[in-house]
RNA sequence: GCCCGGGUGGCGGAAUGGCAGACGCGGCGGACUCAAAAUCCGCUGUCCGCAAGGGCGUGUGGGUUCGACUCCCACCCCGGGCACCA
C-alpha cells in the first residue's frame, strides 16, 4: 500500500497545496522520455511487435493544430500499446523536399537546405512539446544524402525492371510552380492541388512510373485492408475499372462499300461497356487527337475538321470540361463512315472533344437510345435514334440506361438473325451473347480499361531528389551506375526570379561522362515528385542504419506492414495509392519479401481543424498557435482538448474545443492525486466496495472506448469518475484510504496515454520514483463488473412509468411481480388485467394494456 | 446525376432494439471572499401546472416490434468524393 509521500520532492507550505504547473513538469518529462529511450525499440526486441505510424510531415516550422491533432492520436496509441506489453515502433521523420523551401530560396536567394533544416528543428521542438514520443534514432529526412541515395537506387531498380520509363505525353503544366504535375495533383476543376493555378496542357517528354501495371492488384487488394470505407471508395473511383469490349469497325463509303483511297483493313477500334446496344449504334465518335482522323476525313470536311482539331488542342482541359458549352460546337462531322459489324450498315463518323484520346481506344460507338450523352449529340446533329432496350411502363426520359428486354436487334434481316439475335434478352445476357458473337467472328474481344494513368514523377524543380539518369549522344538514356550514387544537386547555385530550376543552367552539374562509352553525357535536370520520397519512407524506418541497401529485408519483414497508419484524409488517393504501388513493386523486385503486398494494414484518417469554417493547414498558416496554448494551459490540456471535442475522424471547428473544461479537469486530478492533499475525507476502514466496483467499471469502459477510438467518450468517463470520487471523498462519511488510492492510481494509469505528463508526474510522487509509462495497462476484474443490484425499468405500453431496484440476478417472475406491484403501475392499470407482460430481466418489464389497441 | 457520411437541448456531442440528452462548453442561482479570480454546491430539452404530476420530443412521412435515436421503405436538408471514362 503506497503511503502518502510528504517527502522532499516538493514543498507544501502550511495549508497551501502546490499548484498544477504544466510549465515545469512537461519539459521535465519530455527530457526524461528522450534521455531514457523509453520509446526506443530495437529490431531484436523480444516483445510482440507493433508498428504505429503517423504520416511524416512536411517541415513547415512550428506545428499547427492539424499536426497536434494528428500526432496526439499516434502518440497516445504508442503509449497505450506499449503499456499493453508491445514493442511499438514509433518513428518520425520529415518529408523535407518540396516547393515551399524552393520558393523561399527564389525569394531570398538563400539555399533551401538551411531554410529546411531550421524548420525541421522548429517542428521537432513543437512535436516534442506536444508530448509526442518517437524513436528519434530512426529519423529520416528526404533531403539527406543517404536517403537520396536509396530513393535513386529504387528509381534505378524500377527503371531496370521497365517500371520507370521516359515517355512523350500530354501532361499537366502548372504555370505558377513551373513544373509538370501528376493527374492526382490536379483537382476536378482543373486547378493545381498545391498552387491553385489553372493547369495547362503541354506535350512533353517526361518520366513515368508504370503504376497502371498494378491497377488490378491495387483494386483487388483494397478488399483486405481495414481502411475507412470512404478512402477505399475514393481509391476504387480513381482506379476506375471498367469492363467492356473492343471491336473493329472498317472505314467504308457511305453505302458500306470498300474505300479505294485507303489501304485494306483500315478500321477504327472502339471501346464500349454496352456492346449489347450495338444494334442501336447510329454514329461513331473519335477523339480530336485520334491518329486516324487526318487519313479518313472526307475532302469537303477537311477544313472544318482541321479547325476543330486545332481548337480542341488549344482549349484547356478546364474549358473542355465546361459542360455548359453548346453541344453542336463540341462536335464536328468528318464525312467518313464506319461499318457497324452487327448490322452491316455504315454509320457516320464524328469528332467530339468529350471523347478522350487517352482513354480506351480514343473512339466510341454512339448509341443515343441508351446513352444520354449520345442522345444529346444525336439531337444536336439530327442523327437517328434507335431504341434497343424496352422501356419500362411510364418511362419519360430520353436515353434509357436501365435493364429490360432487348428489341430492334438485330435489325430485321434474317441473315443477321442467325448470327446474333438479342431480342428478348436482358442486358447482362445480351452483353454475353454479343461479346461471344464478336469473339467467334474474330471481330473483337473483352477488355478491361482503367481510368488510372501512369504516375508522372519528373518535376522541373531544384529542391527534390535528382533523377539519376544521363543522356549520351551515342548511347541514349543511360542510368547512373549504382556505385556513383547518390547524385546530389550542387550547392553553388543561383535562384533566379524566373522560377527556372538552377540545375538547368549549372554546367558543373550538367556535364558528365557516359559510363558506357566514356563520351560526354548530359545529366537529367529534373527531380522526382516528392511523393516518390514518401512512397517508401515507412520501409526505411524499419532499418534506417542500413548502408548497403535501402534497408535489410529481415528488418522490414519484422516490422511491416504498419499496424496502424494515421494521417489526413486528403491523402486518400495521392500518397496512399503511390505507397501501395511502391510496396507491390518493391516486393516483386525482391527488395522486400514476396508476401509484403500492402504497406498499411489499418488506416485511420482524422478530421481537419477548421477556424470560422476555413481549413487550418500549412497553406493557411497558424491561425491558432499550439505553442501559445502549451505556454499557458499546457500540452496535456491541449491534447485532451483535441481528444475530447469530437469523434476523432470528424472535422473540428476550433471554437468547439473546450480547453477550459480540460484544464479544470486536470487541475482536479492534480488535487485529487497529490499525496499531500488534505482536502479528502479518507479513513482506515475496510475497502469501499462500491468505489472499487466503480473503478473496475472505469477500466472496462475506458479500455473499450480506446479500442474503438472513442477517446472523447473515454475522457468523458474519466471526468464523470473524478466528479463522483470528489463528491464522495468530500462527504462526511468519506471513503476508505485503500479504495481511494486504488481509484486515483487507476485513473492515472488510464490517463497515461492521453495526458502523459501529469500522469507521469503524479505517479512518480505517489510511488517514489516509479514510472507510469513503464507499467502495464490495468485490467478490470470481471467479477467486479457484475453489480449486485440493478435498476429495473417498468414500462406501461412502452412508456417508462417507474424504476425499481432489483437484484441483478432477479428472474422473470420476480421482475414481473415487482413491476405489477409498483404503485404507479397499479394506478395506471386501474384494476384491469394487463393484456400482456414482456419481461427482459433484469433490465425491463413492459406491461401491455388492452386499452392501447 | 451516382457513391459515401451525417441530421439528437443554446453549442460540441453520448446512448451497438430496452432509463434519450452521459461528459464538456455556455447560461441561471447560491456558498466562500472586503472584492475579484479560482474552487465548491444546485438548476438548466420543451409545453401545461402553485405543486404533485402530466403532455410532447432524436430532420419529415410511413412501416416492423411489447418496445425504435437505433432496424426497413420513401422523402427533405447538410458535408465530402466522383462525374463527358464510352
Distance A710 CA to B15 C1' (A): 13
CA of A811 to C1' of B20 (A): 27
Estimate in Å the CA A625 to C1' B25 gap, whole number: 21
Task: Give yes or no for residue A834 having a pLDDT over 90.
Answer: no
Which of A34-43, A145-154, A222-231, A471-480 is predicted with the least confidence, judged by mean pLDDT?
Answer: A222-231
Distance CA A448, CA A543 (A): 39
Describe the crossing of helices A22-35 and A635-644 by its angle, rounded to 10 degrees.
Answer: 90
pLDDT at A16 over 80: no
How far apart (Å, rounded) are the C-alpha atoms in residues A225 and A466?
33
Q: Is any atom of strand B within 7 angstroms of residue A19's beta carbon?
A: no
- Residues A56, A94: Cα–Cα separation, whole Å: 6
Q: Which residue has the cell 471508395?
A: A233
Residue range A787-848, CATH number: 3.10.20.590
Q: Which residues contact A406 (CB under 8 A, 6 or more apart)?
A: A276, A388, A389, A390, A422, A423, A424, A425, A426, A427, A430
Tell me the pLDDT band of A317, cut-offs 50, 70 and 90.
Answer: low
Residue A853's pLDDT band, with cuts at 50, 70 and 90, is very low
Burial profile A530-552: b = 16 or more Cβ within 10 angstroms, e = fewer: bbbbbbbbbbbbbbbebeeebbe
Look up residue A407 and give its three cell numbers. 428489341
Q: Which nucleotides of B are covered by protein (CB under 7 A)?
A: 3-5, 11-16, 18-20, 22-26, 38-42, 54-55, 66-68, 79-86
Confidence of residue A441 (pLDDT cuts 50, 70, 90): confident
How far apart are alpha carbons A804 and A825 in whole angstroms? 12
Mean pLDDT of the region A645-653: 85
Using the predicted structure, report yes or no on whether residue A818 has a pLDDT greater than 90: no
In which band, very low, low, confident or very high, does the pLDDT at A594 lie, cut at 50, 70 and 90?
Answer: very high
Q: Is the CB of A372 under 7 A from strand B?
A: no
Residue limits of CATH 3.40.50.620 in chain A: 151-210+454-531
Check residue A410 and give its pLDDT: 66
Residue A227 phi/psi, 5-degree rounding, is -115, 160
**Rounded mean pLDDT of A75-93?**
96
| Lookup: nucleotide whose C1' is closest to A229 CA | B4
Residue A566: the pLDDT is: 92
Q: Is the CB of A646 under 7 A from strand B?
A: yes
Task: Please calculate the CA angle A717-A722-A726 and round it to the nearest 5 degrees.
Answer: 150
For the sheet with A564-568, list strands across it: A87-89, A49-54, A564-568, A603-606
Q: What is the pLDDT of residue A623?
A: 61
To 10 degrees, what angle do helices A65-83 and A112-130 make? 50
pLDDT of residue A38: 94
**Residue A278 contacts strand B, CB under 7 A:** no
| Nucleic strand B under 7 Å from the C-beta of A837 | no
Contact flag, residue A371 CB and nucleic strand B, below 7 A: yes
How far does the CA of A649 sit from the C1' of B60, in Å? Answer: 28
Task: Name the one residue in this structure whose C-alpha cell is 422501356.
Answer: A391
Compute the average pLDDT of residues A631-650: 90
Does the nearest atom of strand B lie within 7 Å of A614's Cβ? Answer: no
Distance (Å, whole) CA A690 – CA A787: 9
Through-space separation of residue A722 CA and nucleotide B60 C1' in angstroms: 41
* Nucleic strand B contacts from chain A, 786-805, CB < 7 Å: 791, 793, 795, 797-801, 803
Residue A716 (CA) to nucleotide B50 (C1'), in angstroms, measures: 38
Q: How far is the CA of A712 from the C1' of B14 (A)?
A: 10
Question: What is the percentage of chain A residues whose pLDDT exceeds 70?
Answer: 93
Q: Smallest CA–C1' separation from A374: which nucleotide?
A: B86
The top-scoring range by mean pLDDT among A64-78, A165-179, A579-593, A656-670 is A579-593
**What's the mean pLDDT in A549-562?**
95
Q: Are A839 and A845 in contact (CB under 8 A)?
A: yes
By C1' distance from the Cα of A325, the closest nucleotide is B84
Residues (171-190, chain A) with CB within 7 Å of strand B atoms: 188
A635 CA from B35 C1′ (Å) = 33
On the question of pLDDT at A228 being above 60, the answer is: yes
A600 touches strand B (CB under 7 A): no
The fold of the A242-449 domain, in CATH, is Isoleucyl-tRNA Synthetase; domain 2 (3.90.740)
Determine the protein residue whose CA lies at the shortest distance from the C1' of B54. A801
**Residue appearing with cell numbers 501528376:** A182
Per DSSP, chain A holds a count of helices (H) and strands (E) of 28, 31
Nucleotide nearest A838, from its CA to each C1'? B66
DSSP string, A140-187: -BTTSHHHHHHHHHHHHHHHHTTSEEEEEEEEEEETTTTEEE-GGGB-
The stretch A552-572 carries a mean pLDDT of: 91
Pick from A389-403, A689-703, A802-816: least confident: A389-403
pLDDT at A419: 64
* Cell numbers 444529346: residue: A376
Task: Outline which parts of chain A fall under CATH 3.10.20.590.
Answer: 787-848
Which residues touch A750 (CB under 8 Å, ≥6 apart)?
Answer: A698, A699, A702, A714, A718, A778
This complex has an ipTM of 0.91
Judge if the beta carbon of A726 is closer than 7 A to nucleic acid strand B.
yes
- Position A827 scores a pLDDT of 81
Lookup: nucleotide whose C1' is closest to A323 CA: B84
Distance, CA of A836 to chain centre: 53
**Best CA proximity match to A183, nearest among A362, A363, A448, A451:** A451
Looking at residues A114-141, what average pLDDT do you find? 95
pLDDT exceeds cutoff 90 at A696? yes
Q: Which nucleotide is closest, CA of A241 to its C1'?
A: B85
Render pLDDT for A790-800 as a digit per residue (tens, 0 to 9): 888 888 888 88
Q: Which of A185, A203, A300, A847 is nearest to A573 (CA)?
A: A185
A734 touches strand B (CB under 7 A): no
What per-residue confidence (pLDDT) applies to A2? Answer: 36
pLDDT at A151: 98
**Do the strands A564-568 and A603-606 form a parallel or antiparallel pair, or are they unpaired?**
parallel
- Residue intervals in chain A for CATH 3.90.740.10: 242-449
pLDDT band at A620 (very low <50, low <70, confident <90, very high): very low
A431 sits within 7 Å of strand B by its CB: no
Distance from C-alpha of A124 to C-alpha of A117, rounded to nearest angstrom:
10
Task: For nucleotide B84, give the residue with the nearest CA to its C1'.
Answer: A354
Q: Is the dihedral of CA A68, A71, A75, A76 positive or negative?
A: positive
Strand B close to A665 by CB, under 7 A:
yes
What is the pLDDT at residue A7?
32
C1'-nearest nucleotide to the CA of A718? B23
- What is the nearest nucleotide to A663, using C1' and CA? B24
The better pLDDT of the pair A433, A586 is held by A586
Q: Is the CB of A323 under 7 A from strand B?
A: yes
| Protein residue closest to B18, using CA and C1' | A844
Q: Which CATH superfamily is domain A151-210+454-531 in?
A: HUPs (3.40.50.620)
Give me the CA A730–C1' B42 separation in Å, rounded. Answer: 16
Spatial separation of the C-alpha atoms in residues A733 and A736, rounded to whole Å: 9
Element (H, E) at A364: strand A363-366
**pLDDT of A12:** 34
Range ranked top by mean pLDDT from A4-18, A663-677, A789-803: A663-677
CA distance A701 to A583: 38
Distance in angstroms (rounded) separating the CA atoms of residues A112 and A417:
72
Q: Is the CB of A548 under 7 A from strand B?
A: no
Q: What is the pLDDT of residue A414?
A: 54
CA(A521)–C1'(B71) in Å?
A: 71
- Cβ of A447 < 7 Å from strand B? no
> How many residues make up chain A in this entry?
853
Task: Tell me how far apart the alpha carbons of residues A144 and A121 are, in angstroms, rounded to a whole number.
Answer: 15
Cell output for A620: 493557411
CA distance A618 to A193: 13
List, for residues A502-540, the tens digit of each pLDDT value: 898 899 999 999 999 999 999 999 999 999 999 999 999
Any idea what the Cα angle at residue A592 is, between residues A589 and A595, rounded to 5°?
95
Please compute the mean of the pLDDT values over residues A717-733 and round it to a whole number: 90
Examine the pLDDT at A86 and tell me if it is beyond 90.
yes
What Å value separates CA A69 and C1' B19? 35
Amino acid at each position: 500500500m503506497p503511503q502518502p509521500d510528504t517527502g522532499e520532492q516538493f514543498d507544501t507550505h502550511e495549508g497551501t497545496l502546490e499548484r498544477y504547473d504544466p510549465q515545469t513538469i512537461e519539459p521535465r518529462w519530455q527530457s526524461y522520455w528522450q534521455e531514457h529511450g523509453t520509446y526506443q525499440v530495437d529490431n531484436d526486441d523480444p516483445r510482440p511487435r507493433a508498428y504505429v505510424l503517423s504520416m511524416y510531415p512536411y517541415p513547415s516550422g512550428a506545428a499547427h493544430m492539424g499536426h497536434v491533432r494528428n500526432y496526439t492520436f499516434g502518440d497516445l496509441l504508442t503509449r497505450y500499446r506499449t503499456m499493453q506489453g508491445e514493442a511499438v515502433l514509433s518513428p518520425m521523420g520529415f518529408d523535407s523536399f518540396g516547393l515551399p523551401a524552393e520558393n523561399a530560396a527564389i525569394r531570398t536567394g538563400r539555399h533551401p537546405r538551411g531554410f529546411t533544416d531550421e524548420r525541421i528543428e522548429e517542428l521537432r521542438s513543437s512535436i516534442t512539446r506536444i508530448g509526442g514520443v518517437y524513436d528519434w534514432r530512426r529519423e529520416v529526412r528526404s533531403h539527406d544524402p543517404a536517403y537520396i541515395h536509396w530513393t535513386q537506387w529504387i528509381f534505378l531498380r524500377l527503371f531496370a525492371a521497365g517500371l520507370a520509363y521516359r515517355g512523350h505525353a500530354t501532361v499537366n503544366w502548372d504555370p505558377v510552380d513551373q513544373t509538370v504535375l501528376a493527374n492526382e495533383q490536379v483537382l476536378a476543376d482543373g486547378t493545381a492541388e498545391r498552387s491553385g493555378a489553372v493547369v495547362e496542357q503541354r506535350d512533353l517528354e517526361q518520366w513515368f512510373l508504370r503504376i497502371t501495371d498494378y491497377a488490378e492488384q491495387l483494386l483487388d487488394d483494397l478488399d483486405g485492408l481495414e481502411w475507412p470505407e470512404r478512402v477505399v471508395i475514393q481509391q476504387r473511383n480513381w482506379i476506375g475499372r471498367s469492363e467492356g469490349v473492343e471491336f473493329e469497325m472498317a472505314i467504308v463509303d457511305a453505302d458500306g462499300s470498300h474505300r479505294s483511297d485507303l489501304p485494306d483493313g483500315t478500321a477504327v477500334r472502339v471501346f464500349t461497356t454496352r456492346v449489347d446496344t450495338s444494334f442501336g449504334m447510329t454514329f461513331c465518335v473519335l477523339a480530336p487527337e485520334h491518329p486516324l482522323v487526318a487519313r479518313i476525313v472526307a475532302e469537303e470536311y477537311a477544313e472544318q475538321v482541321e479547325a476543330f482539331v486545332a481548337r480542341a488542342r488549344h482549349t484547356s482541359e478546364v474549358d473542355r470540361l465546361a459542360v455548359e458549352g453548346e453541344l453542336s460546337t463540341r462536335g464536328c462531322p468528318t464525312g467518313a463512315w464506319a461499318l457497324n459489324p452487327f448490322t452491316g450498315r455504315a454509320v457516320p463518323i464524328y469528332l467530339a472533344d468529350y471523347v478522350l484520346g487517352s482513354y480506351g481506344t480514343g473512339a466510341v460507338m454512339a448509341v443515343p437510345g441508351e446513352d444520354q450523352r449520345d442522345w444529346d449529340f444525336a439531337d444536336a446533329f439530327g442523327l437517328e435514334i434507335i431504341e434497343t432496350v424496352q422501356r419500362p411502363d411510364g418511362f419519360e426520359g430520353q436515353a434509357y440506361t436501365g435493364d429490360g428486354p432487348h428489341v430492334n436487334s438485330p435489325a430485321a434481316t434474317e441473315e443477321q438473325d442467325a448470327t446474333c439475335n438479342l431480342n428478348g434478352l436482358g442486358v447482362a445476357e445480351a452483353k454475353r451473347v454479343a461479346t461471344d458473337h464478336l469473339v467467334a467472328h474474330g471481330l473483337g474481344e473483352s477488355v478491361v480499361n482503367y481510368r488510372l494513368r501512369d504516375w508522372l514523377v519528373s518535376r522541373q524543380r531544384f529542391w527534390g531528389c535528382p533523377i539519376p539518369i544521363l543522356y549520351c549522344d551515342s548511347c541514349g538514356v543511360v542510368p547512373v551506375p549504382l556505385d556513383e550514387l547518390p547524385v546530389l544537386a550542387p550547392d553553388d547555385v543561383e535562384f533566379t526570379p524566373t522560377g527556372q530550376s538552377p540545375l538547368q543552367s549549372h554546367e558543373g552539374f550538367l556535364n558528365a561522362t557516359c559510363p558506357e562509352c566514356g563520351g560526354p553525357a548530359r545529366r537529367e535536370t529534373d527531380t522526382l515528385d516528392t511523393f516518390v520520397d514518401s512512397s517508401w519512407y515507412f520501409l526505411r524506418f524499419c532499418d534506417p542504419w542500413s548502408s548497403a541497401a535501402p534497408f535489410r529485408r529481415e528488418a522490414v519483414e519484422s516490422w511491416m506492414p504498419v499496424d496502424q497508419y494515421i494521417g489526413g484524409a486528403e491523402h486518400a488517393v495521392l500518397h496512399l495509392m503511390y505507397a501501395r504501388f511502391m510496396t507491390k513493386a518493391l516486393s516483386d523486385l525482391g527488395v522486400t519479401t514476396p508476401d509484403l503486398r500492402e504497406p498499411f494494414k489499418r488506416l485511420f484518417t482524422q478530421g481537419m481543424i477548421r477556424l470560422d469554417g476555413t481549413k487550418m493547414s500549412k497553406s493557411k498558416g497558424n491561425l491558432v498557435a499550439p505553442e501559445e496554448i502549451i505556454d499557458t494551459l499546457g500540452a496535456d490540456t491541449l491534447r485532451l482538448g483535441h481528444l475530447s471535442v469530437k469523434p476523432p475522424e470528424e472535422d473540428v471547428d476550433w471554437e468547439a474545443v473546450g480547453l477550459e473544461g480540460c484544464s479544470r479537469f486536470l487541475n482536479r486530478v492534480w488535487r485529487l492525486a497529490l499525496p499531500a492533499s488534505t482536502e479528502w475525507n479518507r479513513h482506515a476502514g475496510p475497502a469501499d466496495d462500491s468505489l472499487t466496483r466503480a473503478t473496475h467499471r472505469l477500466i472496462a469502459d475506458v479500455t473499450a472506448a480506446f479500442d474503438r477510438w472513442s477517446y472523447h467518450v473515454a475522457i468523458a468517463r474519466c471526468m464523470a469518475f473524478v466528479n463522483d470520487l470528489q463528491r464522495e471523498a468530500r462527504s462526511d462519511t468519506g471513503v476508505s484510504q485503500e479504495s481511494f488510492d486504488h481509484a486515483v492510481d487507476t485513473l492515472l494509469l488510464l490517463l497515461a496515454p492521453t495526458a502523459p505528463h501529469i500522469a507521469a508526474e503524479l505517479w512518480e510522487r505517489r510511488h517514489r520514483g516509479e514510472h507510469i509509462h513503464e507499467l502495464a495497462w490495468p485490467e478490470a476484474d470481471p467479477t467486479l463488473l457484475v453489480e449486485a443490484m440493478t435498476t429495473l425499468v417498468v414500462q406501461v405500453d412502452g412508456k417508462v412509468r417507474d424504476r425499481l431496484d432489483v437484484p441483478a440476478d432477479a428472474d422473470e417472475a420476480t421482475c414481473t411481480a415487482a413491476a405489477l406491484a409498483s404503485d404507479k403501475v397499479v394506478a395506471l392499470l386501474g384494476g384491469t388485467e394487463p393484456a400482456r407482460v414482456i419481461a427482459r430481466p433484469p433490465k425491463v418489464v413492459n406491461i401491455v394494456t388492452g386499452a392501447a389497441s
